[in-house]
Structure 1
Amino acid sequence: MSRRLNAADVGHLCTGAMFVACTIDHESSKQYRDMTLALIELQGGGPVLAPVGSLDPAAMTTSIGFVNQGLMFSEMIPVGDEFETAIALLQERLGVPLQGVFPLAAASVNAMVAVSVALQTGLPLVDADPMGRVFPLVSQTTLALAGLSAGPIALTGPTGETAVVDVFAPARAERIVRALASELGGWAATASYPVTAAQLGAHGVVGSITRLIEIGQILDSSLHTQQKYVRLTSLLGIRKVIRARVTDVEGLSRPSVPGLPDRPSSATLVDEAQGRIVRLEIQNEILMMIVDGAIQAVIPDVITLVRPEDASVAGLDDLWVGNKLDLITFPAAAQWYTAAGRALVEPMAMNVVGPVRGGRAR
């Protein structure tokens, strides 16, 4: 059943969105949270969160998300109408009205952007997305796995310049959109993957917005840290929690593989309970966790960080020598554990650490 989100829901959603996307820049998520809360107060109500099944199966929907190329959103803050412009351009190209929006990734800033856009436009926020976590590439979606087109894609840059790209193949869309984002000024607000509600329900990660809110409700509560972990385990199927102290952080000199994110790095931590050596391989997010030389979690698994004193969400900037953190892993959406899903995302991790033999990294 559809419902209108309130201010508390938005706050919890932001916490959940940051938890499932361990990144450097959590500030953008908080900025959009605060913008949305101010708009809710001004308008007297939040956006409508609509289950996929509540929409007409033929209703056209679109994903909403930022694509950036080197420029962080906090360096050139959006004016606020970029996504409305992109939606209008996409509707014009499609020749039919859009009847719902969903985040390109139900995680990090793109989850919060979709909430804000739904409130601004009056369109329902559809309770689904095509990633179920965050991946860095536009082509890494469950809709792409299903053979659906990424385009047409409408883009608006920070200077107000726009483009509409007629492209089918998601991999090709990734290259073109990324290049356009660079030319438009460093980032682009995009409306992509125009699909019907029936297609989104069949091939998307359904209920992902509600899951973020539920995660946030747990983490924002006054429960003890261990009680929070018990509830998160029930909700997410947490596989491992390791409390460890950072002993080393290094930026790697090797170049990034073409077409993959920049800034490869790694962090070494020591497990406080058992003395195990934990290594995190990072490339804009945590791609792999290795414990005493054996891989314990690897993308598409979600690997994230929280502060042990209260289970508040931590980020990659909390990986400084001497800091103590809880490392948490849990499975991503089921689509990513199919042969096709693994083939689309696992090469990111393999290109960071090299071939894997017998469960150990070389």
Structure 2
Amino acid sequence: MGQREGRDGGVTRLQADDATVLGRGAALLGCGGGGRVDHMVSALRLALGDRTVPVVDLDDPGLVSVAAVGLVGSTTVLEEKMPSGHELPDALAAVERWTGVRADAVVAAQIGGVTGPAAALTAHASGLPLVDADLVGRAAPRIDQLSVFVGAMPSVTAAASTTSGLRIVVDAPDPHDLETVWREAVSHSGGWAAFAIGPLPVALLRERAVVGSVDRAMRIGRASDGARDAEHLAARIGGRVVAQGRVVDVGRGGDALAFVHSSMAIRDDRTGAVARVEAGSEYVHCLVDGLPVASTPSVITVVDARSLEPVATDRTRVGNELAVLVLPSAPWWWADPRRTERVAPRAYGVDADVVPEGIA
């Protein structure tokens, strides 16, 4: 394995050999959303070559301001209209020009899905270290769900860069305004965009970021390699299997909060129980024989029962043989009810209460 460990065993740099491992972990933390990681992983591996990206903690004395980067819009369009490689660095440069503040490092807006390796690629392209943290601990569909926006902020400055070369800089007193403006603009400008938020004071991130996210993705990616079956995979990555079997029903529709809504039923091969998984852009809530067993903010991820590859919410089909896994969420979300509420099922348009972690 190319990455080297230090700082209490955590990753201290990424090199080309680590791209696949990071991507594998990010895909599982994508919770069925966040976009496919394959192309971004390939781009990261190619860009790194024989070079490395330093990975630093938020308590690094060299950090003053950190920019959060990510992607907004349709991940389906992203697969069809691939990044040129300039969008994320352009967004970062735009927000630095507007604020007059240089970023000392880059942090992933969310570790789940394509944004995890994309943040590492942005750090490399900008000559900056990558922070071992993110603002969700998994994937989330909306910008206003990022952890930095839980609690008062004087304002937020952010820039988006579209595939057509359009750059949009927004100074917003409310993250909901940022979400609304960008979604509207992106829908008419290519379907997706790269964004950069900040640069944010490192003191704020120390209070509100989910720490250790890059290291967690790497550990999950390493542990998942060579898993024999779903139970073995769950044991190796610190989760549990709540259902495994054939899909017997799938329904899809629209949703104002999560943009899409789907519901999938699986008949468990082992017990005969019927598990139902509700999803927005990500898997959100799971019941077995009508009893809730898992919900956001826990990490609910679905894998193919044979290949153990993650399966996106929009790619489930009747007849698929799948396994539903649940991993613990970042403790940050449970520390305050206001935080939990931001990523509870109802925040994704699913009318259900939060299921505490550890419910069998």
Category of TM-score, reference length = shorter chain:
0.7 to 0.9
1:324 to 1:100, Cα distance in 2 relative to 1, 3 A: same
Deviations 1:99-144 (A, max 9, x none): 1011110110111110111111111011111111111110102111
1:184 to 1:224, Cα distance in 2 relative to 1, 3 A: closer
Indicate the SS of the match to 1:47.
Answer: strand
Match for residue 311 of structure 1?
308
Q: Which runs of 5+ in 2 are unaligned?
A: 1-6
1:306 to 1:145, Cα distance in 2 relative to 1, 3 A: same
Alignment of 1:348-359 (within 5 A): 348=346, 351-352=349-350, 354=351
Q: Which runs of 5+ in 1 are unaligned?
A: none
Matched, 1:221 2:230: no
Aligned counterpart for 1:154 among listed residues 139, 154, 159: 159
CA contact (8 A) 1:251 1:264 kept: yes
Indicate the SS of the match to 1:148.
Answer: coil
Tell me how far apart the structure 2 counterparts of residues 95 and 106 of structure 1 sit (CA, whole Å). Answer: 27
Deviations 1:274-312 (A, max 9, x none): 111111112221111111111111222211112334533
Tell me how far apart the structure 2 counterparts of residues 358 and 6 of structure 1 sit (CA, whole Å). Answer: 38
Alignment of 1:229-240 (within 5 A): 229-233=234-238, 238-240=239-241
Match for residue 11 of structure 1?
20
Tell me how far apart the structure 2 counterparts of residues 341 and 24 of structure 1 sit (CA, whole Å). Answer: 21
Match for residue 40 of structure 1?
48
Alignment of 1:1-362 (within 5 A): 1=7, 3-23=12-32, 26-27=35-36, 29-41=37-49, 44-57=50-63, 59-68=64-73, 72-148=77-153, 151-221=156-226, 226-233=231-238, 238-252=239-253, 255-257=254-256, 260-309=257-306, 311-316=308-313, 319-337=316-334, 338-346=336-344, 348=346, 351-352=349-350, 354=351
Letter in 2 for 1:49: V
CA contact (8 A) 1:149 1:167 kept: no
1:241 to 1:71, Cα distance in 2 relative to 1, 3 A: closer
Tell me how far apart the structure 2 counterparts of residues 306 and 95 of structure 1 sit (CA, whole Å). Answer: 44
Match for residue 4 of structure 2?
none
Q: Which range is displaced more, 316-325 or 12-21? A: 316-325
Alpha-carbon shift at residue 51 of structure 1 (Å) = 1.6
Tell me how far apart the structure 1 counterparts of residues 123 and 341 of structure 2 sit (CA, whole Å). Answer: 33
Tell me how far apart the structure 2 counterparts of residues 299 and 248 of structure 1 sit (CA, whole Å). Answer: 22
Letter in 2 for 1:22: C
CA contact (8 A) 1:21 1:304 kept: yes
Tell me how far apart the structure 2 counterparts of residues 32 and 210 of structure 1 sit (CA, whole Å). Answer: 18
Indicate the SS of the match to 1:263.
Answer: strand
Alpha-carbon shift at residue 69 of structure 1 (Å) = 5.2
Q: TM-score by structure 1 length?
A: 0.87
Tell me how far apart the structure 1 counterparts of residues 339 and 138 of structure 2 sit (CA, whole Å). Answer: 13
Deviations 1:243-298 (A, max 9, x none): 2211111224xx423xx122312111111111111111122211111111111112
RMSD over aligned Cα atoms: 2.5
Number of matched residues? 346
Tell me how far apart the structure 2 counterparts of residues 21 and 226 of structure 1 sit (CA, whole Å). Answer: 19
Deviations 1:213-246 (A, max 9, x none): 000001123666544432322xxxx254322211
Letter in 1 for 2:178: A
Q: Which range is displaced more, 284-293 or 309-318? A: 309-318
1:141 to 1:224, Cα distance in 2 relative to 1, 3 A: same
Tell me how far apart the structure 2 counterparts of residues 24 and 3 of structure 1 sit (CA, whole Å). Answer: 27
Tell me how far apart the structure 1 counterparts of residues 159 and 245 of structure 2 sit (CA, whole Å). Answer: 44
Tell me how far apart the structure 2 counterparts of residues 143 and 185 of structure 1 sit (CA, whole Å). Answer: 27
